[in-house]
């Protein structure tokens, strides 16, 4: 590759980086010159422990390609695991520049069959697993800024189309991924003063989590060499967002699939009316129907025929 590498000298943490999107992100960052902390707990798609963590395998792949990486096997949905993740970056490489929150799994059920444990488990890994690494990384960056060393820090969170539109059979996952968007917006607003930019991506790619949900769309197109659903297609945007080159971009959500990148535009005020006094229920209903007649129709929930 000619020219400077996009992430030369940066230290990047990627959670859930043993497989799928996280693995692709870690390898892409390393290829752009970053020193990478590869986090993976080594669990199955449903969050239960697996026999061996793949984080070390990804580290070996990066090092074999001439890159620099270290493995971390802690549970980032715990305070100690998240704290040790940041500590690993600081103790190994002396700094932390970018956090990519990617870890997650599925416990899909229709709402009437969704158990409380399934709800809690998915919320824990997706929301708490985003919050805790972000909290500990932000504490480090705030301390750096207050010490007169303002960082050019970046956070890339992982949402989903399910979090933006909803997905039948994934009430817990959709709610968690919508929560990731809310967390992204708040973090971008709170941490900007310390030199931290926070964005989110909603990827569509072939991973262990998605192969059962979008099986019909997972295969590479016949007669072409471009695998539209390869997780590596999402990584270039994630790498750019995690680099210093993305200066000024914060509090945004991007959808990435194949060769397509879309800026997602979230909730904003549509048609409205103000009576200037309290409505009766019938009046409120009439007003709501008139407003809906002039409002945009929302996108269809995934899985609705």
Catalytic residue numbers? 160, 173, 177
What span, in angstroms and rounded, lies between the C-alpha atoms of 119 and 176? 9
Instruction: Tell me the CA distances in angstroms from 45 to 110, 147, 186, 220, 237, one per residue in order.
Output: 18, 42, 29, 22, 25
Would you say 182 and 189 are in contact if contact means Cβ atoms under 8 Å apart?
A: no
Q: 3-class DSSP state for residue 118?
A: helix
In this structure, what token pair is assigned to residue 258? 């194949």
How far apart CA 209 and CA 148 sit, in angstroms, is 42
| Residue 73: HSE in the Cβ half-sphere, 13 Å Cα cutoff | 12
Max CA-CA distance within the chain?
70
Compute CA distances 281 → 21, 70, 269, 288, 294, whole Å.
49, 61, 22, 10, 20
How far is the C-alpha of 172 from the C-alpha of 209, rounded, in Å? Answer: 14
Report helix, strand and coil shares of the chain as percent, to nearest 5.
40, 15, 40
- Residue 92 in contact with residue 20, Cβ under 8 Å? no
């Amino acid at each position: 590759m000619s020219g400077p590498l996009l992430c030369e000298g940066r230290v990047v943490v990627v959670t859930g980086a043993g497989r799928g999107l996280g693995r692709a992100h870690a390898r892409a960052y390393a290829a752009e010159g970053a020193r990478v902390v590869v986090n993976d707990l080594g669990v199955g798609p449903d969050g239960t422990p697996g026999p061996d963590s793949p984080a070390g395998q990804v580290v070996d792949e990066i090092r074999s390609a001439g890159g620099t990486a270290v493995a971390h096997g802690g549970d980032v949905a715990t305070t100690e695991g998240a704290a040790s993740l940041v500590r690993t970056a600081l103790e190994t490489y002396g700094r932390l520049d970018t956090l990519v929150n990617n870890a997650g799994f599925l416990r899909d059920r229709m709402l009437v069959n969704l158990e409380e444990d399934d709800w809690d488990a998915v919320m824990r890994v997706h929301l708490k697993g985003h919050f805790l690494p972000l909290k500990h990384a932000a504490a480090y960056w705030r301390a750096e800024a207050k010490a007169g060393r303002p960082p050019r820090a970046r956070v890339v969170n992982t949402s989903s189309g399910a979090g933006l539109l909803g997905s039948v059979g994934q009430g817990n996952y959709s709610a968690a991924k919508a929560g990731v968007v809310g967390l992204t917006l708040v973090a971008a607003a709170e941490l900007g003063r310390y030199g931290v930019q926070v964005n989110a991506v909603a990827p569509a790619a072939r991973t262990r989590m998605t192969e059962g949900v979008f099986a019909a769309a997972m295969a590479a197109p016949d007669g072409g060499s471009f695998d539209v659903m390869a997780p590596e297609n999402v990584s270039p945007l994630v790498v750019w967002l995690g680099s210093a080159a993305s200066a000024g971009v914060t509090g945004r959500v991007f959808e990435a699939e194949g060769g397509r990148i879309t800026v997602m535009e979230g909730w904003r005020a549509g048609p409205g009316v103000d009576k200037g006094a309290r409505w009766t229920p019938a009046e409120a209903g009439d007003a709501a129907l008139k407003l809906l007649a002039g409002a945009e129709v929302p996108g269809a929930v995934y899985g609705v025929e």
